[in-house]
Structure 1
Amino acid sequence: MFHHFLVHAAFQSSRWLPRDQRMKLPKSIRYCEKPLLNNLIASIVFSFLATGLAVALTLTDPVPKSVRAVYHTFGVLSFANGLCTIILTHSAPQCAKTTPELYLFSLVFSWACGLSTVFFVIRWFLWTSHRMHPNWFRETLF
């Protein structure tokens, strides 16, 4: 319903402006050569999948191996989507002039993908070190 609310709120708030004051630009001006819009659509699909996966993970206890496999596969695909986002955004600085909203979203999403990748790399490093040396943390503290 949240997405439905967003569409409804955007529609209703646009009606507060008089017709002659609404921003209308020719479509040829608002064109980005890079496929940032396609990447945005893929990100939206990943958001829906992430929502479903989050619900599945929170409602099952213990988590079956098949759901874990789907979770890790989703993580690899999400990493690939984030990498594509970073590459496309880096190669499309001209889109900042033609479609600034789309470029800004891609830029923010690129940073979010990079930061989340750093988070999971650190988490993987800690998990690996704990598996190799299970008592290392206790021995160094006490």
Structure 2
Amino acid sequence: MLQSTFVYDGDCAFCTSCARFAERWIPTPARLVPWQFADLDALGLTVAECEEAVQWVGRDGVRAAGPDAIARLLGESHLGWRLPGRLLLLPPVRAVAWPLYRWVARNRHRMPGGTAACAVPRPPAAG
């Protein structure tokens, strides 16, 4: 793989707003692409993985999801963003980052830039 790739949900206005922020303010050689327009087979990703969380496929073959993917994106960016990327990968920070990421993902339709279309469908009730 020649270029690292960060994959996000292009149908979600909040996710797209975050990707636009990253493209504008986080200088990185990585490609940011909505999963709906990515060659998932070539990246070794599935639709289910991409619906679950943002994804990272590094040029070195390293894969990551959720806050770990965000950390990888930051880690491959300009020097000023590398430190937050490294910090995000530290075990105590990761222990907080994952629950926070899941909460944001469940509530992304309520976040700035989010719309009702961003809402993640809830699984059907059991029984």
TM over 0.5: no
User: Which structure has the larger Rg?
Assistant: 1
| Higher helix proportion | 1
> What TM-score do the two structures reach when normalised by structure 1?
0.24
| Higher strand proportion | 2
> What TM-score do the two structures reach when normalised by structure 2?
0.26
